[in-house]
């Protein structure tokens, strides 16, 4: 389906005062994910704009999936039954300056939320590479940005409101719900329909972004820790060619005590003299401002600007989380695969993320480095190279991103997540009949 058509329908939904079926797909049009690589198993998409509507809908359906902003590259959000969208629930419900929290409708995207927070003097700790994704969908899959002291985006969640399979509304908070909270936040869409999310805030801050070109691989190897520690958020982009990291993106807070000192060279890499796209040949028009121009946090933390097509557009993505202590070894292991990887690759990105306690988070109890692949849209080729990468990264206990493409077996996933049995029990508590399950969850989590 044409992305503009999807967005038009989404806007139409927002004006509708009752549970609205969206049966208006043009003949031959299929409902797809953002990248267009997944044609969903049904076109039956309904929308709700109140919690009561969500309750009524959930009660009636024997099986359903809640769809966010449909940015996952795999079948985690898919269903052959029926979709519910809570995208019309996209308003801030409460801003609590004392507690430093914001509560929002689960349909809201970071792009909608962030400017509001900034105007009111607040910021989130971090953002992903793009602002277009829904808060609920992103947190459900442990979506992350970069920065060795920053947890993934779900670590900002302090409470959730969930409509469970029976239609009951359940509130789960960090303060009151201990283990249930740790199991529910990265919930993979398996526990119910999230209708509200409460996020921790901090005072708003300004940032500057700098890009360096051509970091020699040897320098990365010798100075990885220093490079990652040099700023609030650091991303390394490489095509694995010519023994180099093509671009180092440095996102620095402007406060004097922590500001990055933008010298002309960084471990042999040269400060760029114009804005760059992560794929240097592409126009930087859709990228956030660089060259040290100060701007609000939400306009520097993502790589891609709201209102533009993020990333390269036609692409597939995969990503693996490796314990931070194995970062350099793991990066060099992938680099050795360059001849197999590069023909299918648009660009790779390496980021760091702080450990968290969420049961199904790939950063559970471990500081992590992520090795990401933006692929050309050629699944037959990508599906052949993924097992090769996964084999190479297996000694490091690499965990795949829940929202991206992988071929890791369900048995292996079970071995990688010690809390998976507890997560299954929690999901069964809220959804005993598997109303919110789909093939992806049945295969990868619930065991067929």
Q: Which residues bind ligand FAD (CB under 6 A)?
A: 34-35, 65-72, 76-77, 86, 106, 128-130, 133-134, 136-138, 140-141, 143-144, 188-189, 193-194, 310-311, 401, 403
Look up residue 373 and give its two tokens: 């692949």
Angle between helical axes of 327-335 and 379-393 (0-180°, round to 10) = 140
CA distance 317 to 339: 18
DSSP state of 131: S
Euclidean distance between CA atoms 240 and 101, whole angstroms:
41
Q: Work out how close the CB of 128 gets to ligand FAD at its nearest, in angstroms, rounded to a whole number.
A: 4
CA distance 43 to 428: 27
CB of residue 132 to ligand FAD, shortest distance in Å = 8
- Which residues have CB under 8 Å from 191's CB, separation 6+? 162, 164, 184, 426, 427, 430, 431, 436
Q: At what angle do helices 217-228 and 327-335 cross, to 10 degrees?
A: 150
C-beta closer to ligand FAD: residue 219 or 234: 234
Residue 166, classed as helix, strand or coil, is coil
Q: Least separation, in Å, of the C-beta of 268 and ligand FAD?
A: 27
CA 277 vs CA 219, 237, 247, 346, 376: distances in Å: 22, 10, 9, 12, 16
Compare residues 195 and 290 and give the one whose CB is closer to ligand FAD: 195
Residue with structure tokens 């769809």? 67
Work out how close the CB of 227 gets to ligand FAD at its nearest, in angstroms, rounded to a whole number. Answer: 19
Residue with tokens 């990887």: 341
Contacts of 105 (CB under 8 A, 6+ apart): 86, 89, 90, 91, 92, 93, 195, 196
Of 90 and 213, which has the nearer Cβ to ligand FAD? 90
Which CB atom, from 219 or from 248, has the smaller least distance to ligand FAD? 248
Report the alpha-carbon distance of residue 133 to residue 115 in Å, rounded. 15
Nearer Cβ to ligand FAD (239/319): 319
Contact 217, 118 (CB under 8 A): no
Query: How many other C-beta atoms can be found within 10 angstroms of the C-beta atom of residue 332?
Result: 12
How far apart are CB 442 and ligand FAD at their closest, in Å?
13
Give the CA diameter of the chain.
62
Write down the residue that tokens 């993106």 correspond to.
Answer: 249
Instruction: Identify which of residues 35 and 347 has a Cβ nearer to ligand FAD in the complex.
Output: 35
- Considering the complex, state which of residue 111 and residue 137 has its C-beta at the smaller distance from ligand FAD: 137
For ligand FAD, the closer of residues 10 and 333 by Cβ is 10
Q: How far apart are CA 122 and CA 241, in angstroms?
A: 41
Closest approach, Cβ 18 to ligand FAD, in A, equals: 19
Query: CB of 197: closest distance to ligand FAD in angstroms?
Result: 8
CB of 271 to ligand FAD, least distance (A): 24
Minimum CB distance to ligand FAD, residue 216 (Å)? 26
CB closest to ligand FAD, residue no: 137
In the complex, least distance from residue 69 CB atom to ligand FAD, rounded to whole angstroms: 3
Please give the backbone phi and psi of residue 113, each rounded to the nearest 5 degrees, phi first: -75, -45
Measure Cα distances from 200 to 102, 197, 278, 375 in Å: 7, 10, 30, 34
State the minimum distance, in angstroms, from the CB of residue 194 to ligand FAD.
3
- Beta carbon nearer to ligand FAD, 85 or 246: 85
Nearer to ligand FAD, 219 or 238 (CB): 238
Q: Which residues contact 332 (CB under 8 A, 6 or more apart)?
A: 221
Residue 434 C-beta-side C-alpha neighbours within 13 Å: 14
CB of 242 to ligand FAD, least distance (A): 25
Give 135 or 385: the residue with its C-beta nearer to ligand FAD: 135
Whichever of 137 and 151 has its CB closer to ligand FAD, that residue is 137
């Amino acid at each position: 389906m044409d992305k503009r058509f999807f967005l038009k329908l989404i806007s139409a939904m927002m004006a509708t005062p009752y549970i609205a079926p969206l049966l208006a797909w043009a003949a031959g049009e299929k409902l797809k994910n953002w990248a267009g690589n997944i044609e969903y198993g049904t076109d039956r998409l309904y929308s709700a704009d109140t919690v009561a509507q969500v309750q009524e809908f959930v009660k009636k359906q024997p099986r359903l999936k809640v769809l966010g902003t449909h940015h996952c590259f795999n079948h985690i959000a898919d269903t052959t039954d029926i979709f519910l969208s809570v995208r019309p629930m996209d308003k801030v419900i409460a801003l609590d300056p004392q507690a430093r929290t914001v509560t929002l409708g689960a349909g809201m995207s970071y792009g909608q939320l962030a400017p509001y927070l900034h105007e009111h003097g607040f910021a989130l700790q971090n953002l992903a590479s793009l602002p277009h994704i829904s808060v609920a969908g992103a947190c459900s899959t442990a979506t992350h940005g970069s920065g060795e002291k920053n947890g993934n985006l779900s670590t900002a969640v302090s409470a959730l409101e969930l409509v469970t399979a029976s239609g009951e509304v359940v509130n789960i908070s960090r303060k009151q719900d201990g283990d249930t909270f740790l199991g529910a936040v990265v919930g993979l869409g398996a526990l119910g329909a999230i209708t509200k999310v409460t996020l921790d805030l901090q005072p708003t801050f300004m940032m500057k972004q700098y890009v360096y070109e051509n970091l020699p691989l040897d320098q990365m190897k010798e100075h990885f820790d220093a490079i990652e520690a040099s700023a609030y958020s650091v991303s390394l982009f490489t095509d694995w060619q010519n023994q180099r990291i093509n671009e180092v993106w440095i996102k620095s807070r402007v406060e004097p005590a922590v500001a990055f000192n933008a010298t002309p060279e960084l471990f042999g890499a040269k400060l760029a003299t114009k804005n760059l796209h992560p794929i240097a040949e592409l126009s930087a028009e859709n990228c956030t401002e660089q060259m040290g121009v100060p701007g609000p946090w939400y306009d520097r933390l993502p790589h891609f600007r709201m209102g533009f097509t993020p990333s390269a557009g036609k692409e597939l993505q995969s990503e693996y989380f490796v314990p931070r202590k194995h970062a350099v070894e793991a990066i060099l292991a992938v680099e050795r695969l360059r001849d197999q990887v590069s023909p299918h690759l648009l660009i790779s990105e390496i980021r760091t993320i702080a450990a968290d306690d969420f049961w199904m988070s790939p950063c559970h109890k471990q500081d992590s480095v992520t090795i990401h692949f933006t692929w050309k849209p050629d699944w037959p080729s990508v599906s052949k190279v993924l097992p090769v990468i996964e084999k190479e990264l297996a000694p490091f206990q690499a965990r795949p991103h829940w929202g991206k493409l992988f071929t890791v077996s369900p048995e292996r996933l079970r071995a990688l997540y010690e809390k998976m049995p507890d997560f299954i029990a929690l999901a069964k508590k809220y959804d005993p009949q598997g109303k919110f399950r789909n093939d992806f969850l049945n295969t990868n989590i619930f065991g067929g």
